[in-house]
Amino acid sequence: MFALLKKEINGFLSSLIGYLVIAVFLLITSMFLWVFPNEFNILDYGFANLDGLFILAPFVFLFLVPAITMRSFADERRTGTIEILLTKPLTDQQIVLAKFLSSLILVGFALLPTLIYFFTVYQLGMPQGNLDMGGIWGSYIGLFFLGASFVSIGLFSSSLTDNQIIAFILSVFLSGFVYIGFEFIYSLSWFGPVDLFIKSLGISAHYSSMSRGVIDTRDLVYFLSLIALFLSLTKFSIGSRKW
pLDDT in tens, 114-163: 888 888 887 776 676 667 778 888 889 999 999 999 999 999 999 998 89
Backbone angles phi, psi at 221, to 5 degrees: -65, -40
Residues 6+ apart with CB under 8 A from 78: 162, 163, 164
- Which of 136, 214, 150 lies closest to 180, judged by CA? 150
Global pTM value: 0.90
Domain ranges of the chain: 2-242
Top pLDDT among 171 and 120 is at: 171
pLDDT in tens, 7-46: 777 777 777 777 888 888 889 888 888 877 777 777 776 6
Residues 6+ apart with CB under 8 A from 42: 33, 34, 48, 49, 50, 52, 121, 124
